[in-house]
Chains A and B, each alone.
With several copies, the nearest count.
Chain A
């Protein structure tokens, strides 16, 4: 038994991709420390108090769990392999989320920082474009509206083809 055996293989930590309760960023971040990881990047997507100029009361997130859970696991696993991460997790809220609360968190760690940043951005971009999760915005004036973040079809002509901000960054 070597000293290294004392540390879990952090990349394998298993986190539920969907969560109906408030996301515990602190607990998730505390899992991310790893003796081989020099860089930890956390992204939290939080609910703003306005959307396109209208005052937002709260959001409600609907997911199709059967596909969403598998897809988030696959996206995270792909990022771990591609950037040789020491650790990566992603977790998305379902249900009602209020202004200032976190709707989604992505944490990536790697020996050096370039990989942790790139993988983090890759994971959130793919989740936002592909994973069957939808937000409904409830405004303070009593109206509601289903959000439509992904408009790629207008540009690609194919609902299954997406344009990722991650790739756009790399092309600049």
Chain B
């Protein structure tokens, strides 16, 4: 699966990267990313996940070719 990160998340992860591990749900991806970079836990807890540009919950099932965007809290305006 491919991952996109934005804004404050880019202080912890690349803007775009690939995850090859076998992860079943969004919550597993989140756990995996916290393991990769424990400092990112706080901002990951505040972030929304989108799969193929649609927001999903943590129990959403991921398919290997999904494109996942991790969206920190909005601060437009």
Contact = CB atoms under 8 A, between A and B. Distances in A.
Contact of B75 (A70, A146, A153, A159): A146
Contacts, number: 81
A66 B53 contact: yes
B71 A133 contact: no
Contacts of B46: 148, 153, 159
A135 B76 CA distance: 6
Interface in A61-86: 61-64, 66-67, 70
Given A146-B7, A160-B55, A160-B57, A132 B74 contact: yes
A107 interface: no
Contacts of A61: 76
Interface of A: 45, 61-64, 66-67, 70, 92, 103-104, 124, 127-136, 146-151, 153, 159-160
A133 B47 contact: no
A103 B57 CA distance: 30
A91 B46 CA distance: 26
A63 B75 CA distance: 10
B76 A104 contact: yes
